[in-house]
Structure 1
Amino acid sequence: MAPLSKDPATLATQGKKAMDESKYDEALTLYTAAIDIRPNSPLFYLQRSICHQRLQKGQEAVDDAEIALYLAEKLGKRDLKAQAQLRRGIGYFFLHRLGDALQCLKWSKKLDEKEKSLNLWFPKVEVGLSKLEEGDERANATVPELPDVSDKIAAEKPSTPAPVSNASPAASTAVKQATGVTTPVDKIREEMIQNNTHVTWTLYVKGVPKDKASVIMEPRSFHISFPLANGSEYSIDKDPLFAEIDVDNSRSSVLSTKIELHMKKKVEGKKWLAMEAKEEDVKAEQASAPVNKPAAAPSYPTSSRTGPKNWDTIVTDVNDDEEEGDPVNSLFKTIFKNADDDTKRAMMKSYVESQGTALSTNWEEVGKKKMEVTPPEGMEAKPYEM
């Protein structure tokens, strides 16, 4: 691996790329380096928690999720707290602590009812719980909503020690005052301007240390954080953005008096009414998005163009089919293999008819209707032949 960058945002971007390419060990190294530089970023811990999960390191995944929860709580970031509880729940699932997993998923849902991943993880946990014998301690919920992570944070020490300064205390104080954030928090302000092709968003704040600022842009969101003079962290997120941006052709700058994001519009000529989209804006966009719908077909049981589906036959076929892939796919296979026939039919029918956007284990409900396609927010459903 090439020498690591000293910019935490660059490290995080490289870590995400490595994770997308299933290079989990490399991603783990990159996120750890980013955490060494920015130990107060809950986002970095959340991403590293995912790396640990993919590497089947359940306890490490839980530890990082709980540190992320602690940091998000300090920052008052409800969305990051929801993600941290979700990652806790997934981690406890892989540790076979199903009662704790279910409780963490409930806390995540309380914080963000729209989190679509919960629709997949709740059934997995509930199926697992149904397989436990009465009195099995793994079904008990024992974890607190906000765990004590002081020992875990103490164990997180930067791999590179801070250089020792020979300067006098007065000189050191002068350097901090010269290079640290000088704008009071209540005076930090933002501004947005746009033209047909770009949106420029500016955060007016003086003295942000460039080497400690984190700017992460995604197609429909961005995250910015940097340390304040008092040692706490300032963080701001825009999610979802009013419309999608072209990340590859967008750029950010950390200057002495401001942080500026120059974002390329994915759809040129579209006027942004604000930086963030409201819920009604997202719904209107999804409703107006062109979707190529397949020709009308009868409802279940003859919803397919090829005729009625025999779900008993499909269940048999899947049981005989050996799959390879990541641990999550193996998990689905295990749940499916150990389920009763009605549960298997429900899982197959809901997954196929919803084009992979829903999974249900309730055949009594699923067998009476055709499942609707509900793609994640910001994505578009594509038709396929059943």
Structure 2
Amino acid sequence: MSSSDYNPHDLLSKANSAFVDEDYTEAVKWYTEGIKTLSGSALVDLYANRAHALLKLERYAEAKSDAQKATELNPTEFKAHYRKGVSCFHLQQYEEALEAFQECQKNGADGGVSQWITWSEEKISKLKKIPIVIKHDWYQTESHVCVTVLAKNLNPAAVTIDFTASTMMMKAKLPDETDYELNLNLTYPIVPDQSSFTVMKTKVEIKMKKCDGIRWSSLEGQSSANVKQIPVAAASPSEQPPVYPSSSAKKKNWDKIESEIKKEEEEEKPEGEAALNHLFQKIYGEGSDEIRRAMNKSFQESGGTVLSTNWNEVAKEKVTVKPPDGVEFKKWDEK
């Protein structure tokens, strides 16, 4: 039987009956069918009651949504305000929870509402006492010193930064309305007019232009007399420069040199007898065991005058000497 076979009162009755039986999933189902079917003032109770069932199932975000819809349909419905307050409390939205409980109390409900108001106020008070820790870090390039302030969700309009030749002063209003300040007494001078900052969703990036291309030993404090110049970038990306200027001999990249020699050897094309030997070496090196046996046997038995790769042919009998035309073959022991 579908929901259309029930009259509106049956749907509400089934939903309430399931709720009493603590079958909250079934109750949500029938309240949902009722919301699809009914209209007008009946929807207020349906949304408020479904919010109650969703609270029992700990589906707090959905419960808050239903309670909010009920309060929009009837702003004086204290049950809806109450259930919205409980939902917000469990969602750790304590400011919104307090407002909902106060609305509930204003519209005639009391009982346990006062306790919820107290709990909400305590949570809000504790949160305000916990200071928000804002961390910052820094790094440098050849031309800039960059400071990263790890503060989330700042309003760009609520962030100001003042630069002088020796200081950086940042002020910001945090999302919880507390004030944040970061004042730096810089180790080395900067160029204020060429320094800037950017407010992002998760951080603030501050870029300060160096007066001199030197490596800062620290962000704050007294400058060191022994300051090293930041090395200029290498002309070739494959060759890394020394960390600091040095009189020592430049190191060679032997791996690179070896690979270049191998490449040159592979690209070099031999000619004449060298080319023929290179071909025989290639055949022997890449050939099968039978090819190598055939080449060894034919070369040895023919006194170097025959080089065959056909093992089936040379395996049958001894390979005879076949000197080139016009050449007489002599054994080494012949005088």
TM-score scaled by length of structure 2: 0.36
User: Greater relative contact order (Cα 8 A, min sep 6): structure 1 or 2?
Assistant: 1
Higher Rg: 2
TM-score scaled by length of structure 1: 0.31
